[in-house]
A = this chain, B = another copy of it.
């Protein structure tokens, strides 16, 4: 970005078998000084589709975004499901590495990629507008292309900004949301990447037969498992089916993590969402895929009372964060908050956690939906208040001297209360990513009885569980597969085999189940070493202090996993 040039390079041998998170984290580890300023010229922003992305493997349209995070100050990988991932992969692009910074402050460019190469062009009137209008202009100017973009909050380098991708219909609603990589994109002066994959050669598959065998096994497993199958839980009700489940378990963080049950839970639950979409009988739909080739199809499109399209998608995390965590039970208001996030370029999880902290600080009252809408709109406007909110929950807590701030390593906690689901708490505390449920989803056995069954309230002996989930996830995040295939492959061994075989089919490798764990651990080690060099210690693998002394209703547990147990995750990696 410093010179305004685009250069294509062959993939060095070292990186040939890598993809997704494995590749972004390795490149960051190799090329980014751990103590650099996340918004300075020495950070890099990296985009990498997964190993099988762009092939016919089911649910494999994911792309990883990596860099040093302005939110956590550690290494960051966030991923999204989007046709943009598939396009890049089909064009034979293994990774995009964004380096440097424009010499002129606040100048922005777009990177255009076609089969003929790449070019950087001034972003012009694409800057300073909401992402829905951005998407409209992109379509108008370039036709049906894919895009990666940072929103107006990312342009302003706010640490709550995610990286936005188009969904299969061109909506700006698929996010690599966490960790503020949208702010890194803004700091690099890169407004957007416009991808036209016309004439792309497609992904090279080393062993087509093996690939097809694996693909078939995986498809079968996905179509068999109750959570992932067509007409199954995710397909029918979306991820927000978890609202009632977690509420029942007393683990749905409510009103800034002050309770584990929300009396309005059912009004924002997945079942209710599906029912209302059906009732309104308009543009809304359930079972909406984020990219072509998805079997699970857990997304949705929400419609207003008059049936007109409002926003896609009402995910569990978004609905929890902007609903229960803010004491808001008006699902149309929640949808509007999601829309504001999508339009502004904000991570919905961090946004909801931040609004909860702002409510705790007394800026507005819990449950004040209109107040929340007004507050969240400040971010894109760039007011001083917007610059507070837009920098996330830890920042907002510090701004107003709040002590009940549910963050780890500066990142807001997702929709599982660690005091009620102790294992996922270990993932929050120890993940290289900061508080992140997707980094090691022990919720599967703790709450959903998937991949085994463990009592969520026990505090001992869960380091190993979290470690294994973290390692497997690090591998999965590298394949390009959606994490939701886990439900099927944890319970159905042939599905797991199929997943590995598709990777081996593409790469010509000979990985086994053991390699999944060992590669996953290798990725974690790379990330952990970066964080250590950046200044992280065991003291950063701790819950926010209030969780140690405030019992959480209804179970009235504090977070009682001992420090020693937390330290076991990486000590024994």
Interface of A toward B, CB cutoff 8 Å? 34-37, 39-42, 70, 156-159, 183, 186-187, 383-385, 387-388, 391, 395, 398-401, 403, 532-540, 542, 544-546, 549
Contacts of A383 in B (CB 8 A): 384
By beta carbon, the residue of chain B nearest A378 is B384
Contacts of A159 in B (CB 8 A): 398
Contacts of A533 in B (CB 8 A): 539
Contacts of A398 in B (CB 8 A): 70, 159, 391, 395
Copies of this chain, whole number: 2
By beta carbon, the residue of chain B nearest A383 is B384
Contacts of A42 in B (CB 8 A): 545
Contact partner, A34, options B39, B183, B539, B540, Cβ 8 Å: B539
Say yes or no: B539 contacts A35, CB within 8 Å: yes
By beta carbon, the residue of chain B nearest A396 is B387
Q: A156-B401, A183-B401, A395-B398 are in contact. List 20 more A-B contacts (CB 8 A).
A: A35-B542, A37-B403, A37-B544, A37-B545, A40-B546, A42-B545, A70-B398, A70-B401, A157-B400, A157-B401, A186-B401, A187-B401, A384-B384, A388-B399, A395-B395, A533-B539, A535-B537, A535-B539, A536-B537, A537-B537
- 16 A-B residue pairings within 8 Å (CB atoms): A34-B539, A35-B545, A37-B403, A37-B545, A40-B403, A158-B401, A183-B401, A186-B401, A187-B403, A387-B399, A388-B388, A395-B395, A395-B398, A534-B539, A535-B536, A535-B539
* Complex: A535 Cα to B542 Cα, angstroms: 10
Most buried by B among A183, A399, A537: A399
By beta carbon, the residue of chain B nearest A399 is B387
Contacts of A34 in B (CB 8 A): 539
Contacts of A40 in B (CB 8 A): 403, 545-546
* Complex: A70 Cα to B41 Cα, angstroms: 29
In angstroms, how far is the closest chain B Cβ from the Cβ of A427?
19
* Complex: A524 Cα to B546 Cα, angstroms: 30
* Complex: A157 Cα to B403 Cα, angstroms: 11
Say yes or no: A545 contacts B401, CB within 8 Å: no
Say yes or no: A37 contacts B183, CB within 8 Å: no
Contact partner, A388, options B384, B538, B540, B549, Cβ 8 Å: B384
Rank and list the top 4 A-B pairs by shortest CB-CB distance, nearest first. A157-B401, A535-B539, A384-B385, A384-B384
Task: Say what secondary structure dominates the interface of chain A.
Answer: loop
* Complex: A40 Cα to B402 Cα, angstroms: 9
* Complex: A388 Cα to B35 Cα, angstroms: 24
Contacts of A535 in B (CB 8 A): 535-540
In angstroms, how far is the closest chain B Cβ from the Cβ of A470?
21
In angstroms, how far is the closest chain B Cβ from the Cβ of A360?
10
Most buried by B among A183, A403, A532, A549: A403
Contacts of A542 in B (CB 8 A): 35
By beta carbon, the residue of chain B nearest A34 is B539
Most buried by B among A186, A400, A533: A400
Contact A395/B401 with A384-B385, A540-B535 known, Cβ cut-off 8 Å:
no
Most buried by B among A35, A156, A544, A546: A35
Say yes or no: B403 contacts A39, CB within 8 Å: yes
In angstroms, how far is the closest chain B Cβ from the Cβ of A105?
9
Contacts of A37 in B (CB 8 A): 403, 544-546
* Complex: A442 Cα to B385 Cα, angstroms: 41
In angstroms, how far is the closest chain B Cβ from the Cβ of A156?
7
By beta carbon, the residue of chain B nearest A385 is B384
* Complex: A497 Cα to B532 Cα, angstroms: 45
In angstroms, how far is the closest chain B Cβ from the Cβ of A462?
21
* Complex: A391 Cα to B542 Cα, angstroms: 24
In angstroms, how far is the closest chain B Cβ from the Cβ of A335?
27
By beta carbon, the residue of chain B nearest A533 is B539
* Complex: A157 Cα to B402 Cα, angstroms: 9
Most buried by B among A36, A183, A539: A539
Contact A399/B403 with A383-B384, A545-B42, A546-B37 known, Cβ cut-off 8 Å:
no
Contacts of A41 in B (CB 8 A): 549
* Complex: A186 Cα to B403 Cα, angstroms: 13
Most buried by B among A384, A385, A533, A538: A384
* Complex: A78 Cα to B544 Cα, angstroms: 27
* Complex: A549 Cα to B387 Cα, angstroms: 27
In angstroms, how far is the closest chain B Cβ from the Cβ of A395?
7
* Complex: A540 Cα to B534 Cα, angstroms: 9
* Complex: A535 Cα to B536 Cα, angstroms: 7
Contacts of A385 in B (CB 8 A): 384
